[in-house]
Amino acid sequence: MVGTAGARLSAVDLRKGAPMGFLIGALGASLIFGMVQLANDPALFFQTLMKSLGLGSVYALIALGFVLIFKATQTVNFAQGALAATGALFLAFLVQKRSVFTEGESVVERAGHIPFTNISNPLDNLGGPQWVHWSLSVVVALAFAAVVGLVVERLAIRPMIGEPLFSVAVITLGLEIMFRVFNNDAVEIELRPIGVPWKLDGFRVGDAFINWSFVAAMITAAAAFVAVYFFYRSRLGIAMRAVAFDQEAAMAQGINVGRVFAIAWAAGAVLAAIGGIFATQPPVEQQISVDQSTANIAFRALPAVILGGLDSVTGALLGGLIVGVAEIYAGQYAAANTSWLGAGYPLIVPYVVMIIGLLVRPYGLFGTPEIERV
Amino acid sequence: MLGRPRLYTAYRQEAQLLPTWTQKVICTLFVAVLFLLPFELPVISHIPLVRFLGDNDWMRPMALMMVLAIAALGLNLLAGVAGQVSLGHAFFMGVGACAAVYLGGSSGEETWGHSLPIWIWLPAAGIVAALVGVAVSPVAVRLRGLYLAIVTLGLVFLGIHFGNTSWGRKIAGPPALGREFPGLDVRLWKEETPLINVEDDGHWLWFDVTDLQKRYLFLLVLTIAFTLVAKNLTRTRTGRALQAIRDRDIAAEVMGVPEFRYKVIAFAVSSFFAGVAGALFSALSQRILATDFGLFLSVEFIAILLIGGAGTTSGTLIGTFFVVMVPQFVEEFTKWLDRAEGGLTEQLARFLLTEGDDFGIINTAIQTPGWTLSVFDWNIVLFGALIVVFLIVEPLGIFGIWVRVRNYWKRWPFSY
């Protein structure tokens, strides 16, 4: 008795047509809507497009971390948000100017002293332009994040090889809860600036204002995806795919499954940390500082992963971009006549998009359907 | 049958609620103790654990435990028995609470309400949640494993956002403040003096009872009722069908179990439990707050199932006790340490506690941002650590430990 997931559910085929029609209708409507808006105000449309692609790139980066870990260990890492906040916090601690804090100041007084613009870096002694220091700090922070990923993998995930996949996922939920407490505690009640050189600056194209952070996110995402593309063609990448396909068979072929796990987690943690750094900048946040909500970026990016398919790198990229575009455009153009939707409604647009997408394709746009045998 | 507890001669016998006499006696005694626990009685008040659980201060966590037990039993039916792991249980609780406050709350300029009595809003909370569960199930049935978990997680975020919308504000009050929730008083209709007064101190039978004790007893009755429903459901045709789907869904379908129908039933029943529990949850704190029904609450139920032992009713109840009471014990222990004078306990206190300036792990000062976490933060860390450790060390939970201990003594002196 062999059947694909689709054939298995043939009894409920009735529900298949409606969502597909709905999806095509929604796509057509948004296309027409987009054309109208483009004709109305091209500058605003272009600005929104760049903003949404920036957000989509951030989502895609986080989603790529999810996919890397999923492809190696077959589990969703719910602690990705905590890892993102941890990485960004490392950076904040590296670039923070500590001398402004005097002994005995209360936390509230200290909060007033946060240097938002002045970057003072332990690496300042090196001399040279500040963005060099900042880039070096980023590298160090990412290395820290990788170490955290390795430690977590070794302590909590490695003992679970061969256990049910959902158990591993719930372990990462437990880790997320623990990490969050420590992160929030490290943030205290103030903001932790991460000293991004381009701050809130941007440039103008015609009437459209585009933040440098949008461009930076896009370039980083492009670089990350190219790197992962080549990585999967390397010897280690092929080993990783083999492990994802069948742990036991891979082990029998002489692949060190533990090491593959470790590398996937380190890479996932680094991608999470990069995402965390971008999660403090526009278009996600405006304050360029780590705070207690930074860790939420992973839960905002989850729809992108699911929409694209948990095991597809292409899916992560396209899912991230689709979700980002949907969120920003919904926020930009629907705001005027939707006061009943309440503040912050764009944040749940990704989840709505995800649910509609899953109605049409239960394994995501590019995900591999599970083939089941009795 | 006394000497051969595992010898069944008929299916009826095997499917009994409490198959052995030992279980019957222990269960009866246990329920009796639960009922008598709040009162000052000669024997009951001297059993070690019961002695302080019966204190008036401990009635609040005990009552909360009853509420969470109802919700956890619902999730157990869905995740433990039918194998559909859902992270959206808090969402269905929130749906129930909203339905309850819409029917039972008072109407005003900023809020909608109908001031109906509890015998309308409590079942309605469950029914509305069950209907939402049925509405969601077409999506959920198509998904499996982690995809299902993440989509139900999405429901939680949608639910919290509902508190921000204009309808949500009318029902659940302003996002950060919430809204007053009707109490547990039982009225026939909208009269002034309630039929059964649960919210004030008073006199029941020949006991003086405080409001907390009243709420505890009220919720205890409900919890026992729901436990019976859950337990009975698992030993009927429906329960067996759900277990078949959990063990291998395709095989179940080949054997003639309609997968779609039973998954919808599982979602509906589980959401019903969650809805009722959500209404009671808000009624207990007398305030509904949309952000209460967040991811953390959902994870709490997953933790209850994992720590107690998924798929078993008694395991779920033990897990609820563990998850609700361990933080209370830790808090109480810290307070006790803080008061300790002299001897080993003071040394221990000096080592563990701090007020922010000396060495220590647990901060007892009131305002505690920064390193040295407060007890509350440590409790959350402990909660996360318990999930991780239980999954790594004992995946079957406390129930699994109990089974191992029982089997050891059953076989004693042989090792297998």
ipTM exceeds 0.95, yes or no: no
* Contact at CB, A181 and B154, closer than 8 angstroms: no
Count Cβ–Cβ pairs < 8 Å, chain A vs chain B: 157
* Closest residue to A345, CB basis, from B161, B254, B299: B161
* Closest residue to B302, CB basis, from A12, A170, A181: A170
Q: Each residue's pLDDT tens digit in chain A (374 positions)?
A: 344 444 444 444 444 566 567 778 878 888 888 888 888 888 888 999 999 999 999 999 999 999 999 988 888 999 999 999 999 999 888 877 544 444 444 444 444 444 433 445 555 556 667 777 788 889 999 999 999 999 999 999 888 877 777 888 899 999 999 999 888 887 766 677 887 888 788 888 888 899 999 999 999 999 999 999 999 899 988 998 888 888 889 989 999 988 999 999 999 999 999 999 999 988 888 888 888 888 899 999 999 999 998 888 999 999 999 999 999 988 887 766 667 787 788 888 999 999 888 878 888 888 887 766 65
* Contact at CB, A354 and B154, closer than 8 angstroms: yes
Which candidate in B78, B160, B361, B388 is best for mutational testing of the A interface (most A CBs within 10 A)? B388
pLDDT tens track for B96-129: 999 999 998 888 888 888 888 999 999 999 999 9
- Kindly state the tokens that stand for B235: 């030993």
Q: Which residues of B157-170 are buried (b: 16+ CB within 10 A; e: fewer)?
A: bebbbbbbbeebbb
Shortest distance between the Cα of A352 and any Cα of chain B, in A, equals: 8
- Contact list in B for residue A370 (CB cut-off 8 A) is 144
- Contact list in B for residue A71 (CB cut-off 8 A) is none
- Contact list in A for residue B169 (CB cut-off 8 A) is 342
- Contact list in B for residue A340 (CB cut-off 8 A) is 165-167
* Contact at CB, B381 and A188, closer than 8 angstroms: no
- Give B65's Cβ-side CA count (13 Å radius): 24
pLDDT tens track for B327-369: 999 888 888 888 877 777 777 777 777 776 666 777 776 655 5
Contact B307/A at CB under 8 A: no
Q: Helices (DSSP H) in B248-294: which residue ranges?
A: 249-254, 259-285
* Contact at CB, A166 and B248, closer than 8 angstroms: no
How far apart CA B32 and CA A322 sit, in angstroms, is: 59
- Contact list in B for residue A180 (CB cut-off 8 A) is 380
* Contact at CB, A165 and B146, closer than 8 angstroms: yes
Lowest pLDDT segment from B37-51, B86-100, B260-274: B37-51
- Kindly state the tokens that stand for B147: 């995809």
Q: Return the domain boundaries, chain A.
A: 2-373
What's the per-residue H, E or C state across chain A? CEEEHHHHCHHHCHHHHHHHHHHHHHHHHHHHHHHHHHHHCHHHHHHHHHHHHHHHHHHHHHHHHHHHHHHHHCCCCCCHHHHHHHHHHHHHHHHCCCCCCCCCCCHHHHHHCCCCCCCCCHHHHHCCCHHHHHHHHHHHHHHHHHHHHHHHHHHHHHHHCCCCHHHHHHHHHHHHHHHHHHHHHHHCCCCEECCCCCCCCEEEECCEEEEHHHHHHHHHHHHHHHHHHHHCCCHHHHHHHHHHHCHHHHHHCCCCHHHHHHHHHHHHHHHHHHHHHHCCCCCCCCCCEECCCHHHHHHHHHHHHHHHCCCCHHHHHHHHHHHHHHHHHHHHHCCCCCHHHCCCHHHHHHHHHHHHHHHHCCCCCCCCCCEEEC
- Contact list in A for residue B380 (CB cut-off 8 A) is 177-178, 180-181
Q: What is the largest CA-CA distance in chain A?
A: 73
Higher pLDDT, B342 or B162: B162
Higher pLDDT, B27 or A17: B27
Contact A101/B at CB under 8 A: no
Q: Helices (DSSP H) in A188-234: which residue ranges?
A: 212-231
pLDDT of residue B338: 81
* Closest residue to A355, CB basis, from B154, B306, B388: B154
**Cβ atoms of residues A273 and A83 within 8 Å:** yes
Contact B9/A at CB under 8 A: no
Q: What is the DSSP string of B224-255?
A: HHHHHHHHHHHTSHHHHHHHHHHH-HHHHHHT
* Contact at CB, B388 and A171, closer than 8 angstroms: yes
Shortest distance between the Cα of B42 and any Cα of chain A, in A, equals: 43
* Closest residue to A166, CB basis, from B145, B250, B260: B145
pLDDT of residue B370: 62
Contact B176/A at CB under 8 A: no
pLDDT of residue B95: 95
* Contact at CB, A342 and B169, closer than 8 angstroms: yes
CATH of A2-373, one of 1.10.3470, 1.10.1760, 2.40.128, 2.60.40: 1.10.3470
Contact A107/B at CB under 8 A: yes
* Contact at CB, A348 and B161, closer than 8 angstroms: yes
Lowest pLDDT segment from B48-52, B53-57, B147-151, B185-189: B48-52
Contact A15/B at CB under 8 A: yes
* Closest residue to B145, CB basis, from A165, A170, A173: A165
